[in-house]
Amino acid sequence: MVHRCVEVGLLAEGSTVGLVVRERKYRSLAITLWLLGVGMSLGMPYVTLFLTKEVGVSASKAGAFFLTALMGPVVSLVTGRLSDRMKSRLPLLAGSVVWLGFGWWLLGFARSFVGVMLIGLAFFAVIGTVNSQAFALARDHAATDLQVGHSSIISTLRAAYSIGWVCGPVVSGWLAATMGYRWVFRFAAMCYIAALIPLKWVGSCERAVTETRNGSGVPTCRLVVFSALAALVASGDVIKAAFLPLHVVDGLGSSPYVLGGLFSIGAALEIIAMPLVGRLGDRFGAGRVMAWAMVIAALNYTWLALAKNIQVMYVIQSVHAFVFAAMAGLGVAYAQSLAGAAVGLGSAVYFAGQSLAGPVGSMMGSYGVSVVGIPAVFFLPAGICGLAAVVMGVWGVRWPVALGFAGRASGQVRIGRGR
């Protein structure tokens, strides 16, 4: 009975989830994002294992593959600016999906480390383009919809991508064990190609050709500042992902099963929280919600550094689900608003910052552990999130951006195919 009530509530006429399920354009985009999430989570965790087991390189050398991701922000910024000068983002998004899928397919046949690196540089640099253009297309459609605020729509669609990341590892584990790592990459490629099927029903959503507010195609200062703040907060997740397992297993003496449950509950709650924070963003403003999330993150990391038992860890992970949902679900919508009419560029700058969070978090975490050890290293992201919260609270929430229902009449969007 409770399950039925929750289901009815989620699919109710006024709910964002119900809107996404009912409207073909959103439903198709949600399926597309789910397939993209499955494809990425299928392949990416197995690249280093593939390099060490199949190609035969050392672990340190295998880790160098992820340096190819540094090309991503450059490509994302170029393609983001290009998409704002196109009448429809759909061709660029579809082409990027095909290109990335082809890269995963080629990776399944690679025999040398040099070949893998070249594939990473040539094909995986469009990962950020796929993500940014998918959410830019979602924003174009949301700008014409007066039923709910666009923050709610974007965050709900982001939840679909996260669900893909939950499903992918389940399939990839079975594939790797039964068919080998190369078939993991081939199935990842198939997911990307399959994503083109629902994408055709999303609708082209033709727009008037635009540039950024300053007319130069250059990101505004506040867009860059916010994307940098979001990247710094995301770097805390990198530090936590790297050192929380060591703290739980070695420091607290818990089993790997407990660790798995810890991460699983966090992932599940993040998916549930994303549509809810979207509603909060439309009601109070995305900037304010993210400022609250940064404050909670600072307190949560401090608590994590001081925690002495596993029960507290479950509470910390559950609370942090709101932080991740707010930053991941509302971040791109807020960046798009800061970019004015240049939605593609706003999405690209945001995702470029997110792609740099990994290297930044890794370097800070490595240095912090060498100086203060575990769990004191978690004071580092606590301080970073606290600083970001101050900047966002004092400066960011005052930025006059069009959120929720505001400014929709000037969207200059014309819907192509799709309901």
- 227 and 138 co-located in one domain: no
Task: Pick 276 or 204 by higher pLDDT.
Answer: 276
Q: Which residues pair with 206 in a beta bridge?
A: 414
In a domain, 326, yes or no: yes
Residue 231 and residue 191 share a domain: no
Q: How far apart are CA 220 and CA 394, in angstroms?
A: 19
Q: Does the pLDDT value for residue 407 go beyond 70? A: no
Q: Are 174 and 238 in contact (CB under 8 A)?
A: no
In terms of residue numbers, what domain contains 76?
Answer: 23-206
Half-sphere exposure of residue 107: CA atoms within 13 angstroms, side-chain side: 34
The helices-and-strands tally (H runs, E runs) of the chain is 18, 2
Domain annotation covers residue 4: no
3-class SS shares of the chain: helix, strand, coil, % to 5? 80, 0, 20
Examine the pLDDT at 404 and tell me if it is beyond 70. no
pLDDT in tens, 175-215: 888 999 999 999 999 999 999 999 988 876 665 554 444 44
Residue 386 pLDDT level (bands cut at 50, 70, 90): very high
SS3 for 256? helix
Mean pLDDT of 393-406: 54
**Both 305 and 398 in a single domain?**
yes
Residue type (1 letter), 304: L
For residue 306, the model assigns a pLDDT of 93
DSSP-based three-state secondary structure for 56: coil
- Give me the chain's average pLDDT, please: 83
Residue pair 341/129 in contact (Cβ under 8 Å)? The answer is: no
pLDDT at 128 over 80: yes
Residue 9 lies in a domain: no
Specify the DSSP class assigned to residue 57.
Answer: -
Same domain? For 157 and 284 the reply is no
| Tokens encoding 39 | 């494809």
Q: Which amino acid is at 396?
A: G
Question: Helix or strand or coil: residue 413?
Answer: strand
The CATH number of the domain where 396 resides is what? 1.20.1250.20
pLDDT on residue 411: 39
Tell whether 418 is covered by a domain.
Answer: no
pLDDT of residue 149: 67
Q: What's the CA gap between 143 and 125, in Å, rounded?
A: 29
100 pLDDT higher than 90:
yes
Same domain assignment for residues 176 and 257: no
Asked if pLDDT for residue 417 goes beyond 60, the answer is no
Distance (Å, rounded) from C-alpha 336 to C-alpha 135?
Answer: 9
- List the single range of 157-161, 359-363, 374-378 with lowest mean pLDDT: 359-363
Same domain, 221 and 202: no
* Same domain as 291, residue 378: yes
Please say which residue of 176, 206, 236 terminates a domain: 206
The residues, any chain, with a CB within 8 Å of residue 104's CB and separated by 6 or more, are: 39, 43, 123, 185, 186, 188, 189, 192
Buried b (16+ CB within 10 A) or exposed e, 36-61: bbbbbbbbbebbbebbeeebebeeee
- Are 140 and 228 part of one and the same domain? no
206 phi and psi angles, rounded to 5 deg: -70, 145
- Given a contact cutoff of 8 angstroms between Cβ atoms, the answer to whether 40 and 185 are in contact is no
The residue to which tokens 């699919």 are assigned: 11
Query: How far is 103 from 95, CA to CA, in rounded Å?
Result: 12
**Average pLDDT of the residues in 268-274:** 88
Query: Do the Cβ atoms of 403 and 337 come closer than 8 Å?
Result: yes
Residue 388 has pLDDT above 90, yes or no: yes
H or E segment and range at residue 351 = helix 343-372
Residues 40, 127: one domain?
Answer: yes
Across the range 57-75, mean pLDDT stands at 81
Q: Is the pLDDT of residue 309 over 70?
A: yes
Domain termination residue (choose one: 206, 234, 255): 206
Nearest-CA neighbor of 20 among 269, 202, 245? 202
Is the pLDDT reported for residue 2 higher than 70?
no
More confident call, 190 vs 25: 190
Residue 160 in this model has a pLDDT that exceeds 70: yes
Q: How confident is the model at residue 148 (pLDDT cuts 50, 70, 90)?
A: low
pLDDT band of residue 295 (cuts 50, 70, 90) is very high
What's the pLDDT score for residue 109? 94
Domain end position, chosen among 172, 206, 240: 206
Specify whether 177 is located in the same domain as 325. Answer: no
In a domain, 291, yes or no: yes
**Residue 282 CA: distances (Å) to CA of 134, 286, 290:** 21, 7, 12
Exposed/middle/buried for 310, CB within 10 Å: 0-12, 13-18, 19+?
middle
Higher pLDDT, 146 or 59: 59
Q: Are residues 300 and 386 in the same domain?
A: yes
Q: Determine, yes or no, domain membership for 411.
A: no
What is the reported pTM? 0.80
Indicate the number of domains in the chain: 2
Residues 224 and 199 in one domain: no
